[in-house]
């Protein structure tokens, strides 16, 4: 039985009624990429590139970045790699990014705001990602997007980098949905984003107005709060109108209780911790999409995360 479970980890995840769900893993190093492959992940739905930028006096140059991204792409054996552009801010400062002291770093200069504040850093990073071979293995994802204009500004820098390097193929450029602004305008953003991936860690913090690092609030910071689920529902509706896929790369993707709800809302890609990827696949295989849609609709009408969890447990007969 153990051998069978092991083998299943390397098979695709398809619901009982035939919907294919991609199960990816989050990464931040070559080691993570190897763990993703060992656990049967189909690629990486989130490479956090911060590891290259923190704890140093100068930013990594284009060659160093290209080498590191290539090593991670190689460790993934050609499977898709979604590289997130730099996501630092006032709380993760680097000496070469003199972000003025902020009273609320979570609401300050961070994510794409930093990239557009220092566009030469963004350009260098995009050029390094574009140099990874085979061309097309890497997709690019932008964190903390709040409006379509920010995506357009990043795309303009990407087009410049492509021109400089003579890249003519389409390079997929997606966004993270982790601000309420992005979730409620997903229909506008999806018109020009190649894909959307929900960052439930930040989205929950901003929707519930609860600091994700505050231990006093930790027990109440639950991404299964109906307010967060409604944001994800709106994201999926907006994406669907433009034929874009929606993934989840925040912690909620690794929560087995959330799997049926996310599928029911229209999510088709889950980027989880590597270790839990086989269990997420097994959970997907036990689900019917139609039943998930019914469950998700009922979840949106609950009044607390506890009620949502209870609903799911009851439906799973657990």
Q: Which residues bind ligand PEP (CB under 6 A)?
A: 46, 48, 87, 178, 199-202, 249-250
What minimum distance in Å lies between the beta carbon of 237 and ligand PEP? 20
d(CA 315, CA 18): 20
Closer to Mg ion by CB, 178 or 255: give it: 178
Q: Of 121 and 141, which CB lies nearer to ligand PEP in the complex structure?
A: 141
Strand, helix or coil for residue 46 = strand
Least spacing, CB of residue 317 vs ligand PEP, in Å? 30
Q: For residue 217, give the 3-state DSSP assignment.
A: coil
Q: What residue 110 binds from Mg ion, ligand PEP, none (CB within 5 to 8 A, per partner kind)?
A: none
Of the residues 42, 202, 222, 255, which one makes contact with Mg ion according to CB under 5 A: 202
Q: Which of Mg ion, ligand PEP, none binds 200 (CB below 5-8 Å, type-dependent)?
A: ligand PEP
- What one-character-per-residue DSSP string does 209-235 give? T--TT-TTTGGG--TTSHHHHHHHHHH
8, containing H or E segment: helix 2-8
* 84 near Mg ion (CB under 5 A): no
- For residue 66, the partner it binds in Mg ion, ligand PEP, none, with Cβ less than 5 to 8 A by kind, is none
Q: CA 277 from chain center: how many Å?
A: 15
CB 121 → ligand PEP: shortest distance, Å? Answer: 18
- From start to end of 85-155, where are the E strands? 138-142
Task: Name the region of 40 (left: φ>0; alpha: ψ -120 to 50; beta: rest).
Answer: left
- Write down the residue that tokens 């689900």 correspond to: 287
Phi, psi of 23 (to 5 degrees): -115, 110
Residue 251 or 266: the one with the smaller Cβ distance to ligand PEP is 251
Which of these ranges, 120-128, 195-203, 236-244, 285-293, lies near Mg ion under the rule CB under 5 A? 195-203
Print burial letters for 12-46: b (CB count within 10 Å at least 16), e (below 16).
ebebeeebebbbbbbbbbeebbbbbbebbbbbbbb
Rounded Cα distance between 51 and 48, Å, is 7
Question: Closest Cα partner for 112 from 191, 193, 207?
Answer: 193
Question: Residue 186 contacts by C-beta under 8 Å, 6 or more apart in sequence?
Answer: 177, 196, 234, 235, 236, 237, 238, 239
Residue nearest to Mg ion (CB): 202
Nearer to ligand PEP by C-beta: 15 or 111?
111
Q: Identify the residue among 45, 60, 174, 199 touching Mg ion (CB under 5 A).
A: 199
Cis preceding-peptide flag for 134 (omega within 30 of 0): yes
Q: Is 173 helix (H, G, I), strand (E, B) or coil?
A: strand
Residues 281-310 touching Mg ion, rule: CB under 5 A, are none
Tell the smallest beta-carbon distance from residue 2 to ligand PEP (Å): 32
- 255: partner contacted, choices ligand PEP, Mg ion, none (Cβ within 5-8 A by kind): none
Identify the CA nearest to 192 among candidates 268, 115, 244, 141.
244
Residue 173 beta carbon to ligand PEP: minimum distance, rounded to whole angstroms? 17
From the list ligand PEP, Mg ion, none, which binds 249 (C-beta under 5 to 8 Å, kind-based)? ligand PEP
Binding mask 42-61 for Mg ion (x = CB under 5 A): --------------------
Query: Residue 182 burial (CB < 10 Å; 0-12/13-18/19+)?
Result: buried
From the list Mg ion, ligand PEP, none, pick the one residue 269 interacts with, judged by a Cβ distance below 5 to 8 Å according to partner type: none
Among Mg ion, ligand PEP, none, what binds residue 42 when CB lies within 5 to 8 Å by partner kind?
none
Closer Cβ to Mg ion, 89 or 199, answer by number: 199
**Closest distance to Mg ion from the beta carbon of 176 (Å):** 6
């Amino acid at each position: 039985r153990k051998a069978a479970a092991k083998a299943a980890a390397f098979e695709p995840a398809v619901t009982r009624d035939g919907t294919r769900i991609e199960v990816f893993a989050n990464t931040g190093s070559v080691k993570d990429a190897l763990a993703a492959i060992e656990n049967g992940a189909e690629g990486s739905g989130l490479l956090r590139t911060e590891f290259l930028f923190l704890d140093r006096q100068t930013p990594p140059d284009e060659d160093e970045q290209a080498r590191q991204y290539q090593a991670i792409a190689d460790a993934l054996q050609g499977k898709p790699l979604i590289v997130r552009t730099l996501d630092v801010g006032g709380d993760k400062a680097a000496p070469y990014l003199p972000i003025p002291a902020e009273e609320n770093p979570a609401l300050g200069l961070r994510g794409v705001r930093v990239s557009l504040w220092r566009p030469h850093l963004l350009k260098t990073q995009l050029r390094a990602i574009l140099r990874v071979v085979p061309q097309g293995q890497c997709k690019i994802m932008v964190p903390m997007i709040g409006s379509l204009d920010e995506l357009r500004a990043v795309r303009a820098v990407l087009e410049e980098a492509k021109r400089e390097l003579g890249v003519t193929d389409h390079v997929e450029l997606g966004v993270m949905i982790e601000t309420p602004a992005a979730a409620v305008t997903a229909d506008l953003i999806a018109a020009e984003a190649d894909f959307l991936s929900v960052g439930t860690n930040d989205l929950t913090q901003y929707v519930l107005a609860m600091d994700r690092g505050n231990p006093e609030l930790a027990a109440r910071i639950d991404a299964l709060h109906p307010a967060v689920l409604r944001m994800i529902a709106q994201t999926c509706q907006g994406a669907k109108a433009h034929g874009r896929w929606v993934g989840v790369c925040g912690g909620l993707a690794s929560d087995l209780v959330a799997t049926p709800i996310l599928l029911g809302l229209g999510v088709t890609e889950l980027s989880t911790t590597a270790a839990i990827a086989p269990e997420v696949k097994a959970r997907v295989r036990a689900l019917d999409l139609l039943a998930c849609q019914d469950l998700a609709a009922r979840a949106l009408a609950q009044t607390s995360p506890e009620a949502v969890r209870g609903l799911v447990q009851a439906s799973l007969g657990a």
